[in-house]
Amino acid sequence: MFDKFNDECGVFGIFGSTSAAAHTALGLHALQHRGQEAAGIVSCLDGQFFSHRAMGLVGDNFSDAAVMNRLQGASAIGHNRYSTTGETLLRNVQPFYADLALGGFALAHNGNLTNAITLRRELIARGSLFASTSDTEVIVHRVALSRSAAIEDRVIDALKLVEGAYSLVILAPKSLIGVRDPNGVRPLVLGKLGDAHIITSETCALDIIGAEHVRDVEPGEMIIVDESGVRSLFPFAAQPPRFCIFEYVYFARPDSVMQNTSVYAVRKRIGAELAREFGVAADVVVPVPDSGVPGAIGYAETAGIPFDLGIIRNHYVGRTFIEPSESVRHLGVKLKHNANSALLKGKRVILVDDSIVRGTTSKKIVTMVREAGASEVHMRIASPPTTNPCFYGVDTPEKSQLMAANHTIDEMAKIIGVDSLAFLTMDGLYRAVGEAKRNNELPQYCDACFSGEYPIALTDNASGISGNQKDLFVKDVA
Amino acid sequence: MFDKFNDECGVFGIFGSTSAAAHTALGLHALQHRGQEAAGIVSCLDGQFFSHRAMGLVGDNFSDAAVMNRLQGASAIGHNRYSTTGETLLRNVQPFYADLALGGFALAHNGNLTNAITLRRELIARGSLFASTSDTEVIVHRVALSRSAAIEDRVIDALKLVEGAYSLVILAPKSLIGVRDPNGVRPLVLGKLGDAHIITSETCALDIIGAEHVRDVEPGEMIIVDESGVRSLFPFAAQPPRFCIFEYVYFARPDSVMQNTSVYAVRKRIGAELAREFGVAADVVVPVPDSGVPGAIGYAETAGIPFDLGIIRNHYVGRTFIEPSESVRHLGVKLKHNANSALLKGKRVILVDDSIVRGTTSKKIVTMVREAGASEVHMRIASPPTTNPCFYGVDTPEKSQLMAANHTIDEMAKIIGVDSLAFLTMDGLYRAVGEAKRNNELPQYCDACFSGEYPIALTDNASGISGNQKDLFVKDVA
Amino acid sequence: MFDKFNDECGVFGIFGSTSAAAHTALGLHALQHRGQEAAGIVSCLDGQFFSHRAMGLVGDNFSDAAVMNRLQGASAIGHNRYSTTGETLLRNVQPFYADLALGGFALAHNGNLTNAITLRRELIARGSLFASTSDTEVIVHRVALSRSAAIEDRVIDALKLVEGAYSLVILAPKSLIGVRDPNGVRPLVLGKLGDAHIITSETCALDIIGAEHVRDVEPGEMIIVDESGVRSLFPFAAQPPRFCIFEYVYFARPDSVMQNTSVYAVRKRIGAELAREFGVAADVVVPVPDSGVPGAIGYAETAGIPFDLGIIRNHYVGRTFIEPSESVRHLGVKLKHNANSALLKGKRVILVDDSIVRGTTSKKIVTMVREAGASEVHMRIASPPTTNPCFYGVDTPEKSQLMAANHTIDEMAKIIGVDSLAFLTMDGLYRAVGEAKRNNELPQYCDACFSGEYPIALTDNASGISGNQKDLFVKDVA
Amino acid sequence: MFDKFNDECGVFGIFGSTSAAAHTALGLHALQHRGQEAAGIVSCLDGQFFSHRAMGLVGDNFSDAAVMNRLQGASAIGHNRYSTTGETLLRNVQPFYADLALGGFALAHNGNLTNAITLRRELIARGSLFASTSDTEVIVHRVALSRSAAIEDRVIDALKLVEGAYSLVILAPKSLIGVRDPNGVRPLVLGKLGDAHIITSETCALDIIGAEHVRDVEPGEMIIVDESGVRSLFPFAAQPPRFCIFEYVYFARPDSVMQNTSVYAVRKRIGAELAREFGVAADVVVPVPDSGVPGAIGYAETAGIPFDLGIIRNHYVGRTFIEPSESVRHLGVKLKHNANSALLKGKRVILVDDSIVRGTTSKKIVTMVREAGASEVHMRIASPPTTNPCFYGVDTPEKSQLMAANHTIDEMAKIIGVDSLAFLTMDGLYRAVGEAKRNNELPQYCDACFSGEYPIALTDNASGISGNQKDLFVKDVA
């Protein structure tokens, strides 16, 4: 919709809070950028679970006192969802809940499993019933089928069968569990507020409730929080860490800290790297709002060129778009952005954006900036060209839709209509996150969207199963 | 809510229709009296299933052309739901759908299983996940777990494990299946419209679409409709038929025909039996509308006393009640009924009602009739005293709530405030349905609510499992 | 929609009640048959007015405690609306409210003014602004423009300018006023509940709150209720009374009493007159439900032929219709009615209905009854042929749409498909309401829909102003 | 709600467009910052008007094709509303529409009349009925009552009676009229798109549809657009221009141009003036987002201190707030903002905000910044202290609620918790908008909120009429 890669989810779990559901709602609100389609919370009191899941924003669904009061108990987990295409259904909204023989069980997942359809087919063949069309449900089935006694062992049994990226929070009658896949693709952090422990996607969700950031959950680590405190397990074979580098580029909130590194600081350093790598004479550095702002500040500081808001964002554009008639449909980008003509007129402009996906928005923005009177337009992109889709929990178009996968940079510059176009180099990006350079033998991060090197097997894909095996599923009407 | 026993569901299935979903919606509309809480339709086109389920009336949810157009295909099943208490949840709305290894599978159920919780516990122990809190879902799980190849064999495997009352319609990729439990407790009929075959709860659902009533589905019979036509199987050990006699008394629509007997005609004969058994001198016979009307007509004809509408029903009372303040809450029954004072003044009145459940409504009606000036009020009830709850798919209060289970008829007369009170005798009821008398060795019908003789084992109850094992389940909030 | 004439409104006012708004909501609920499109209540506490108006049924809009609690005060008026075509707008929902120089003023109207457009044009020319497209608003304007000091004098000034039918309830800061037009076309009654006084359309609205029926408000009478009690004025030139005879035939609830005459009793007598005037050999008398029931009972009693429910009504048909596809649209009438085939088969049937408007429903019902196996179908109509539209507050089709205005009775019988068709004679109808016969010089009732004799000038019509001067008005979108 | 002054409305009108309603919707979307409570559009085709008004955002109410298609015609006006307190009612949503003797008439108003209640009382006394509780309706009444023939003369007659601030767009059957009060308090601009002419609040509403900014409408000017083109009148006695200086400080969008001056440029100059007037040694300049950004950039540039996003705004906070329980209510500001701790830790911070109203938000923000580790916090405000309420169309708290009206700057600094606090001087502000200094004899702008010098008489206030004469009005319930 916004011509961006979109992260698919945010998760939050808390144990030992007197306001567990309220804290979870606040945490999810802070994580709203990770998913705006739907939200859900499951809480637990004395083995009884309470669930509310709804389409829409957290603030629209979890601000009613009656709803919140019924989400009882001192522990809770929650989930924000960003859906891929089509399957926008309440039954796909997480957390998923199940009655297991040993009691209730709820789970929320950020990431994507790469062998989910394969596992789903096996489970259906053996007689399991699926309530959703989500990859996440296979984990719940496998937990239910495990013969282990302890809930954490059941989870481990289940996760040993799955491949892909996952940061999970799990609510059991007497515990909260957080797990991160062995490569640590998606983020997960541990926090503390008084006697309560929190496991969530980003530190901004700790900040909002005034919780302390204890540390990141490690790749492959399972954290168990219960009455006796916090335990840590590493139940899986160790894997080299491959944290998603795009979290720094775009997904995470700038005020979050990941791997002890400020996201905002990384983005400013990216801007600085861009200025060093691809400097150009200009009068003003203009961010494409809002994601381009830190990079533009970093670029401007390093290049010594003024930073200014040459494009103004209309913050009232949310989920609804005005496209009242064909005759005005071409206005598109103007619903969200307007050029600050008084500023841009006659100026040589450097536009800083985080990435180019399909390129359609970039083209419209450049046209708008030129019509506002800019004499030159140079575009600088705060990441390498995105040439490959993600299979680890990010909503990306197919390769055929990715501009950089199908055009040279010169062609892109021509299509977009800029005087010059440059993408940050891969090494520049690695420098911005604190590495000397990319280790091409064993990259320190997952950068598959730039490099095409997928660190985790794409089992479903390899079996020729496309990502949308919709023929298996019933269609919900209306 | 209305101080009545309430049937829990109506089902409808059609195969080979050019308007399968539309016919199903119409059939469900005709069956609306069997359940007003929610409705659902699943259709099938070339192995792809389409589903829409919603809270509320059929006419409110299936009249939108966009919805109906998406319910594609020449076969469909549908379900009206009347819930028991509390668990008024979308995830409990039928038909239930499942992806099985052999394709899609949808099922709608009228009745109630008496070993559902026992089976559910077994299934959870072996790792099955339940998406609903409904007894019906255990059938779907058992179908999924069956190792038989053919869908009908899987259904048979599953049903051999369940106890209780069930009239089912099932939609498979290439067939429609109807099954009635071996005792035939709940109704199910077979119809035909051109080349299309229909399986549904009552003949009124055939009438609405202009279909012909072929015959009743027999107790223990499985009907399979597919491209090659209609097949009949009797896969279960034969049982004596025990059709629910209360269908004649109250549940069924008066224009339906059950076991080749007109429901309206039975109700008139019940009135005639009442007049013969418990005649009394009076000026007017007044039905408690609307269910008491045929009985009152029958009574009046036999007794030679005028039939008149002495109580007028407000048809705009539906699901919402005005109870705007404490000071007017006692008005209660007047929201639905008003006495026709001009008619009743100074008259000796015979009130005919179908049954007395808690007795609260009866008391209010009698008070209202007296305040309207009736000089005497005699109440005649078109069934024996209801002294026992039903476990076969009818929503009944617990025994402690049933007036007749806790009071003599004299006490009841006093509480209700009538000059005389009489209930139809058991033999009178059996005569009205065409029997010489009740066969006390092997009753021809299920009359457990009157007799306490339950023809099918109450396994869950016997294990000390109450009907509402809510501790197992998550609570949906809002 | 239902091929009937439809009354346009019900009104209710109360003064001196501790539950004024609740009593008004209950009264409107009892009057729901007079208008189902919208409802409104205005209450008054110490000169401050409170208003709630909404589309839909009373029970759907006035059962929320929060709404009711805000309708404060010991006096209130309410209104049920049945709209004509199209202008289904919240701004047309009554009661209308205005700030006048002397304080708040609210008004609810049953009836229709015949010079409203003429008056509206005059008012607009002098600079008045209209907030609605309703005829009623001219009264409010004329009250506002009156130079009289007392509110009742202002109302009298205003009403002296208007022509047409009106039964009004008016709420002023310290009084409740009821007025009935000099001909008394629409009903209005006075009631009492403890110290509270009620003015409302029908006695059934008194019954529901347990109030006593004091007497009818007289034609041309103004009743003023305030702290000092009840006063009566006759401010207008006396006119011969012309109560709408169709209120007895169809509009009023059968349990209401009008002019000291039971509506139910009149309807039974109409049936008896029909049997005497147009008796025919038959096996069963069947009402077209529900309005035909009392007439059919009366007919059956007089003719000595059994009364039976040969047509069953589906009470779940309300405002929404299932018309899911063209292929099933012809089913039409079956959504609401089904023939009781078991009863009708081989029988000679007398169908009793209250009136024939367009005749489309009659034709479908007869077809249905024949398909159910009736050997003969004789239709008896409980009123003379309706050959003329009403301009006094009833929603009627134009003359060109009225079957009886365009066909002989023989032609109608052929079109409808009956073996015989007969309408009650005008004198028969007058006998049923207690007159010896119709006084053709000065008819005792308004029977314009049968006779074409309009007792009140049709000023707008005479000026060539059609009833729908929509060119004057803005169209509300969506 | 957001502890800000809030502009009350935006207006847009267009004549001669093939997509008049669509262009109006887009224009209103661009003006959404001027009012988020409700929006309305009235269009006109051949003398027939079409209206849609709704609570909520433009994008939520005017994106449905069915709605837009019914808003027919080549001319249209629209309005965004920001309400003051309480009276959040559909009947107060503009444009207002009236049937006048000469045809339809619609009007939308930005501003506030200072003698509205006085005029309203006169009108009610003479018998006019009010449909709303808005000040704007008196203009419509006075237009209706004018005896002039031409619509523009009627408008002039009406406006000669009103006092206060108004920028109006008016739609008549054959013309579009724009008027600005003689002091020109609120903005109004003229634009052109092909053959279509536009009159609207700000240039950003021209930009969104690609229209050209022709010029500002002058104070006291009436622009009439009809088939013959654009005419200009100055029908009122000339007054010194007193444009609202706060439009530059906060209300207008930064990409708008007012009086040929870029709003963004003024805000940067304000920041520069602040740096010059109240410079302080610091490590980073941090804007309070989003309104503080241009000022902070201007400050940082002038002071040579780095500009950085030290506070991150959560853009998903809209109209709903999560306040799920008492225990978390104190979190307040964190729902909208989070400190970028990694950046702020140990730094001397200059916070730039546009104004301080009640001071409550400022205090929370400072606390948050300090908790994030800032070593010093200096607050610089981009306007003089706001010590007086506005009566010209801005929603402001009463004087007793304005922090600066009740505390010295030192006291404020202490309460807010900053190391230093400074407000821009009045002359600094005038310099920023391009004047040498404030002309104290005859100020070039309306700066009453800072100075208490009200350029237009406060007639209602002087008569002791408070702004909320609610005793006159009916209360809408629910």
The three state secondary structure string of chain D is CCCCCEECEEEEEEECCCCHHHHHHHHHHHCHHHCCCEEEEEEEECCEEEEEEEECCHHHHCCCHHHHHHCCCCEEEEEEECCCCCCCCHHHCCCEEEEECCEEEEEEEEEEECCHHHHHHHHHHCCCCCCCCCCCHHHHHHHHHCCCCCHHHHHHHHHCCCCEEEEEEEEECCEEEEEECCCCCCCCEEEEECCEEEEECCCHHHHCCCCEEEEECCCCCEEEEECCEEEEECCCCCCCCCEECHHHHHHCCCCCEECCEEHHHHHHHHHHHHHHHHCCCCCEEEECCCCCHHHHHHHHHHHCCCECCCEEECCCCCCCCCCCCHHHHCCHHHHCEEECHHHHCCCEEEEEECCCCCCHHHHHHHHHHHHCCCCEEEEEECCCCCCCCCCCCEECCCHHHCHHHHCCHHHHHHHHCCCEEEECCHHHHHHHCCCCCCCCCCCCEECHHHHCCCCCCCHHHHCCCCCCCHHHCCEECC
Catalytic site positions of A: 9
Alpha-carbon distances of C220 from C9, C201, C240, rounded to whole Å: 19, 15, 10
> Do residue C289 and residue C414 come from a single domain?
yes
DSSP state of B399: G
pLDDT, averaged across chain D: 92
The nearest alpha carbon in chain A to B475 belongs to A50
| pLDDT over threshold 80, residue D467 | no
Which residues in chain D have their CB less than 8 angstroms from residue A307's CB?
A: 297, 307
Of A49, A144, A145, the CB nearest to B475: A49
Report the range of poorest mean pLDDT among A38-52, B61-75, B105-119, C436-450: B61-75
Asked which of A422, A438, A454 is the last residue of a domain, the reply is: A438
The answer to whether residue D135 sits within a structural domain is yes
pLDDT, averaged across chain B: 92
Query: What pLDDT, in 10s, does the model give residues D130-189?
Result: 999 899 999 999 999 999 999 999 999 999 999 999 999 999 999 999 999 999 999 999
> Do residue A165 and residue A60 come from a single domain?
yes
| pLDDT over threshold 50, residue B287 | yes
Whole-number percent of chain A with pLDDT over 90: 82
- For residue B105, give every residue at least 6 positions away whose Cβ sits within 8 Å of its Cβ, in sequence order, or none: B97, B98, B99, B140, B143, B144, B151, B170, B171, B172
Q: Largest Cα–Cα distance in chain B?
A: 72
The answer to whether C124 contacts D130, with C-beta atoms less than 8 Å apart, is: no
The answer to whether C475 contacts D49, with C-beta atoms less than 8 Å apart, is: yes
- For residues B379 and B365, give the distance between their C-alpha atoms in angstroms, rounded to a whole number: 11
Token pair for B151: 């869908």
Within 76-95 of C, beta carbons closer than 8 Å to B belong to none
Q: What is the CATH number of the domain that holds B185?
A: 3.60.20.10
The answer to whether residue C253 sits within a structural domain is no
Contact predicate C355/C7, CB 8 Å: no
Residue B331's pLDDT is what? 60
Please compute, for residue C425, the number of CA atoms within 13 A of its CA located in the half-sphere on the CB side: 11
Contact predicate B238/B184, CB 8 Å: no
Q: How many structural domains does chain D have?
A: 2
Whole-number percent of chain B with pLDDT over 70: 92
Q: What is the CATH number of the domain that holds A398?
A: 3.40.50.2020
Token pair for B280: 């009394």
Query: What pLDDT, in 10s, does the model give residues B204-236?
Result: 999 999 999 999 999 999 999 999 999 999 999
| pLDDT over threshold 80, residue B466 | no
- For residue B179, give every residue at least 6 positions away whose Cβ sits within 8 Å of its Cβ, in sequence order, or none: B155, B159, B166, B167, B168, B170, B217, B221, B222, B223
| pLDDT over threshold 70, residue D34 | yes
Residue B274 sits at the vertex; the CA angle it makes with B273 and B278, to the nearest 5 degrees, is 120
Q: Residue B463's pLDDT band (boundaries 50, 70, 90)?
A: confident
> Do residue B193 and residue B337 come from a single domain?
no
Chains with ≥3 CB–CB distances under 8 Å to C: B, D
Residue D327's pLDDT is what? 52
> Do residue C165 and residue C235 come from a single domain?
yes
| pLDDT over threshold 50, residue A409 | yes
pLDDT, averaged across chain A: 92
The answer to whether residue D474 sits within a structural domain is no
> Do residue C362 and residue C285 come from a single domain?
yes
The answer to whether B318 contacts C59, with C-beta atoms less than 8 Å apart, is: yes
The answer to whether residue C385 sits within a structural domain is yes
- For residues A205 and C254, give the distance between their C-alpha atoms in angstroms, rounded to a whole number: 65
Shortest Cα distance from C331 to chain B (angstroms)? 7
- For residues C297 and C313, give the distance between their C-alpha atoms in angstroms, rounded to a whole number: 17
> Do residue A269 and residue A235 come from a single domain?
no
| pLDDT over threshold 70, residue B328 | no
Which residues in chain C have their CB less than 8 angstroms from residue B290's CB?
A: 315
Please give the model's pTM, rounded to 2 decimal places.
0.93
Q: Residue A85's pLDDT band (boundaries 50, 70, 90)?
A: very low
Residue B145 sits at the vertex; the CA angle it makes with B140 and B149, to the nearest 5 degrees, is 100
Question: To which H or E segment does residue C46 belong?
Answer: none
> Do residue B169 and residue B282 come from a single domain?
no
Residue C466's pLDDT is what? 54
Our measurement of the distance from residue A364's CA atom to the centroid of its chain's CA atoms, rounded to an integer in Å, reads 25
Query: What pLDDT, in 10s, does the model give residues A324-344?
Result: 455 555 566 678 899 999 999
The answer to whether residue B318 sits within a structural domain is no
> Which residues of chain C fall short of a pLDDT of 70?
1-2, 7, 83-88, 317-333, 465-473, 478
- For residue C316, give every residue at least 6 positions away whose Cβ sits within 8 Å of its Cβ, in sequence order, or none: B29, B32, B33, B36, B57, B58, B59
Which residues in chain A have their CB less than 8 angstroms from residue B474's CB?
A: 42, 49-51, 97, 99, 104, 106
Report the range of poorest mean pLDDT among A459-463, B133-137, C1-5, D33-37: C1-5
The answer to whether residue C35 sits within a structural domain is yes
- Interface check for A477 against chain B (CB to CB < 8 A): the answer is yes
Residue D251's pLDDT is what? 94
- For residues D35 and D7, give the distance between their C-alpha atoms in angstroms, rounded to a whole number: 7
Closest CA to B75 of B103, B39, B48, B57: B48
Token pair for A468: 């949308």
| pLDDT over threshold 50, residue D214 | yes
Owner of token pair 């088969």: C345
The answer to whether residue B322 sits within a structural domain is no
| pLDDT over threshold 60, residue A322 | no
- For residues B206 and B190, give the distance between their C-alpha atoms in angstroms, rounded to a whole number: 9
Q: Residue B120's pLDDT band (boundaries 50, 70, 90)?
A: very high
> Do residue C237 and residue C266 come from a single domain?
no
Query: What pLDDT, in 10s, does the model give residues C327-363?
Result: 555 566 678 899 999 999 999 999 999 999 999 999 9
Chains with ≥3 CB–CB distances under 8 Å to A: B, D
Q: Are strands B229-233 and B257-258 parallel, antiparallel or unpaired?
A: unpaired
- Can you point out the beta strands (E) in C147-239? 164-172, 175-180, 189-193, 196-200, 212-216, 222-226, 229-233
- For residue B112, give every residue at least 6 positions away whose Cβ sits within 8 Å of its Cβ, in sequence order, or none: B8, B135, B164, B165, B391, B392, B393, B394
- Interface check for D260 against chain A (CB to CB < 8 A): the answer is no
The nearest alpha carbon in chain D to C96 belongs to D131
Residue C468's pLDDT is what? 45
Residue D321's pLDDT is what? 46
Q: Residue D84's pLDDT band (boundaries 50, 70, 90)?
A: low
- For residue A437, give every residue at least 6 positions away whose Cβ sits within 8 Å of its Cβ, in sequence order, or none: A427, A430, A431
Beta-carbon count within 10 A of B472 CB: 16
Residues D388, D394, D397, D403: is their CA dihedral positive or negative? negative
Asked which of D213, D242, D271 is the last residue of a domain, the reply is: D242
| pLDDT over threshold 60, residue B467 | no
Query: What pLDDT, in 10s, does the model give residues A3-44?
Result: 777 767 999 999 999 999 999 999 999 999 999 889 999 999
Per-position DSSP letters for C395-440, written without gaps between them: E---GGG-HHHHS-HHHHHHHHT-SEEEE--HHHHHHHTT-SS--S
Average pLDDT (A32-59) is 93
- Interface check for A141 against chain B (CB to CB < 8 A): the answer is yes
First vs last Cα of chain B: how many Å apart? 21
> Do residue D303 and residue D234 come from a single domain?
no
Query: What pLDDT, in 10s, does the model give residues A419-464?
Result: 999 999 999 999 999 999 999 999 999 999 999 999 999 999 888 7
The answer to whether C25 contacts B324, with C-beta atoms less than 8 Å apart, is: yes
Residue A87's pLDDT is what? 53
> Do residue B227 and residue B78 come from a single domain?
yes
Catalytic site positions of C: 9
pLDDT, averaged across chain C: 92
| pLDDT over threshold 90, residue D474 | no
> Do residue D226 and residue D284 come from a single domain?
no
Contact predicate B287/B352, CB 8 Å: yes
Query: What pLDDT, in 10s, does the model give residues D362-421?
Result: 999 999 999 999 999 999 999 999 999 999 999 888 999 999 999 999 999 999 999 999
- For residues C461 and C448, give the distance between their C-alpha atoms in angstroms, rounded to a whole number: 15
Residue A327's pLDDT is what? 52
Beta-carbon count within 10 A of C160 CB: 12
Alpha-carbon distances of C439 from C1, C428, C432, C444, C452, rounded to whole Å: 34, 13, 14, 6, 15
- For residues B230 and B152, give the distance between their C-alpha atoms in angstroms, rounded to a whole number: 13
Residue C315's pLDDT is what? 82
Average pLDDT (B141-155) is 97
Alpha-carbon distances of B98 from A123, A127, B40, B48, B103, rounded to whole Å: 13, 10, 15, 12, 8
Provide the domain limits for residue A286.
265-314+331-438
Asked which of B213, B242, B271 is the last residue of a domain, the reply is: B242
Our measurement of the distance from residue A244's CA atom to the centroid of its chain's CA atoms, rounded to an integer in Å, reads 10
The nearest alpha carbon in chain D to A325 belongs to D22
Of B58, B65, B322, the CB nearest to C63: B322
The answer to whether residue C472 sits within a structural domain is no
> Do residue C122 and residue C152 come from a single domain?
yes
